Chains A and B, each alone.
Chain A
């Protein structure tokens, strides 16, 4: 590693994906015929040619260390000719053409503390944001709540016994860099107090017109304070969205006693049966309670099992397929809210 290369490259874009595709994928690209889930967390995809690829899917915490990536690479080198991929929900997938490798991959990846699962009618990995690990606007932590919730719901990751897929997402503030607004269950960090204003810093750091324009309810107004231009907040009009704080760092909203999370239910993005839907407010506020947010965990578990237990169980004992949480709400809101309480 040299600090100054002879030629400075820019605008090269990402590596071409073909460089990283397993040979069986290249040979059968666009010619896959069908797929099957062999066991929770294990897919086989069969091509028109008869070729097969096995994918072993395991949860990760999204936040992952160099030593762990190397351990995953060791497994992929040993069993997958060096090929692995990640899913859109931060699961790692080991790709192999040899069925006999499934067992070994499962054992080794589970030995590293990464459960195999997340396929079919399960709760797959919770997509989430940075939280206290790396964000300035977080109203709650992200990784900690995800860990606490998934620790309690792990059986639904490693089994496929739910009535349908269930997608949980977490965003630690309303900016929603995790775009959780179309999830079966969304955990959303919220503030509940207006910003405080540091007039002295604001004068040096913030553009007042931008700050005023950032407020969706026109609660932020220009004023003169001690002869200097600044802003005021009409507190009754503030809905604590923190958009002013995003454009002006001198208006923090973080408040340990009043920040927390809200829970939203019934959203989805896939088009099957019903069109994509937004999640709707179910629990307006639960205070932050680190490290394990027991009240949040309990409320999420409750929502999951109220939904799961209310599904039609068929005469042959199989759970009726594919009522996502969203259409389940056809019963009316008061029903699920009533049952969830």
Chain B
């Protein structure tokens, strides 16, 4: 195939316009890279035929790992030999996606020699995606990465690369240290991340507050969402400043939009009935200089989110209403120290009983929440219940409860 560094035909039409062009990025990579050149050709074919030209991945990887590499082969290897193999490597990102240029430059130097010169920054789960290289380059890329202090992320039936929001690094609403938790849990479960022995994928996402900037409630099997227990902190002078200086219509924009109607505004003072606050963050989002979350902070752990395949999309639902994430811990309250035990219990049960390609949310659906809680040794609590039952067909365990059966 002739060396093509510029897109032609339909693909070239995507090099104009104000939004950054992925075609121009591939062209930039193609100036010094044969794989990127052939990618342009293959993509032009897709644009002409309205068909993708990639085959299913084969089993490729680096020694000792079962995840982190997605095998990819094109179905036109004669026409485009430089992308006949075009495997992806997922590289575990630093928590919060902060970088020093020095580290990025090293990855660039490696990737223009050993791969396509093309990245996704970042992939959907949060990894740096090295988009496309050949089988013989996989080990060398991995060795270069580990020498730079980077490791591969997850793919297949493993713990997928955990990710987190910017958290306490640059946000006043971080109810716990999302970066620390993401890092520590990633390090604690390196074996589960690299070696697939789960029924299917399992994702952790850490969001510092209910605004959920990493969409953990929609996208992670185990979602950690920051929350608080005590009263919203009110700066009365700042409330007045919003009303008078910023001309904020507090009644309409804040009070009337409160989902639990727990607020009142008399034109001078804002009252919050904190007992009825569901900590949705709306009032704090609008008047963040005047209102701050409470001081007793931690996170809610939710379980089971997934996209539609197979049993339909699900959002995570509450497993631990409140976990204290920093000492001092109270004995009678779940704490961050209890987390490894909880995760182990879930993985042991789902790992043993889960069917092939069954996410934990589908598993719970199949066996029932009460059986699930029973098996992992967690007491049911009211906060887990979204909607009480409306039918009387209840399974009682006969003989378990001594208070039952007064007649006998």
Residues of A within 8 A of B (CB): 1, 3-5, 8-17, 19-22, 25, 29-30, 32-35, 45, 53, 55, 59-70, 72-73, 76-77, 82-88, 90, 92, 113-115, 127, 129-138, 141, 143-144, 146-148, 150-151, 154, 157, 171, 174-179, 181-182, 210, 213-214, 216, 241, 243, 246-247, 249, 254, 256-257, 259, 269-276, 278, 288, 290-292, 314, 316, 320-322
Contact = CB atoms under 8 A, between A and B. Distances in A.
Among A177, A256, A273, A320, max chain B CB count under 10 A is at A273
Interface in B58-116: 63-65, 72, 86, 88, 92-105, 108, 110-114
Contacts of B143: 3-5, 8-9
A144 B23 CA distance: 9
B123 to A, nearest CB: 8
B253 interface: yes
A270 B117 contact: no
Interface of A is mostly: loop
B314 to A, nearest CB: 9
A27 B219 CA distance: 32
Contacts of B267: none
Contacts, number: 351
Contacts of B215: 88, 179, 182, 269
Contacts of A67: 28-29, 31, 117
Contacts of B104: 69, 72-73
B94 A61 contact: no
Among A213, A241, A271, max chain B CB count under 10 A is at A271
B247 interface: yes
Interface of B: 10-11, 13-14, 17-26, 28-29, 31, 36, 39, 43, 46-47, 49-57, 63-65, 72, 86, 88, 92-105, 108, 110-114, 117-122, 124-126, 131-132, 139-140, 143-144, 146-147, 149-151, 163, 165-166, 168-172, 174, 177, 179, 183, 186-187, 190-191, 194, 210-215, 217-219, 247, 249, 252-253, 257-259, 278-282, 285-286, 288-289, 307-311, 313, 315, 355-357
A249 B51 CA distance: 16
Given A34-B288, A134-B88, A269-B215, A148 B20 contact: no
B186 A32 contact: no
Contacts of B97: 85-88
A15 B108 contact: no
Contacts of B49: 256
Nearest to A316: B247
A321 B117 CA distance: 43
A131 B42 CA distance: 13
B19 A150 contact: yes
B119 A322 contact: no
Given A10-B146, A84-B101, A181-B308, A291 B211 contact: no
B10 A290 contact: yes
A259 B51 CA distance: 9
B211 to A, nearest CB: 5
Given A12-B151, A181-B308, A144 B72 contact: no
B18 A154 contact: yes
Given A147-B14, A179-B219, A273-B282, A33 B172 contact: yes
Among B46, B64, B139, max chain A CB count under 10 A is at B46
Contacts of A77: 101
Contact of A63 (B119, B213, B249, B313): B119
A161 to B, nearest CB: 17
Given A5-B147, A10-B146, A272-B211, A175 B119 contact: no
Nearest to B210: A271
B11 to A, nearest CB: 6
A288 to B, nearest CB: 5
28 contacts: A3-B139, A11-B194, A13-B187, A17-B183, A30-B168, A35-B171, A55-B170, A60-B121, A63-B119, A65-B26, A65-B118, A66-B108, A66-B111, A69-B104, A73-B101, A85-B96, A88-B215, A134-B88, A134-B131, A136-B56, A141-B46, A148-B17, A151-B18, A175-B307, A181-B218, A271-B210, A271-B280, A320-B253
B102 A82 contact: yes
A182 B94 CA distance: 26
A189 B219 CA distance: 18
Contacts of A322: 253, 257, 282, 285-286
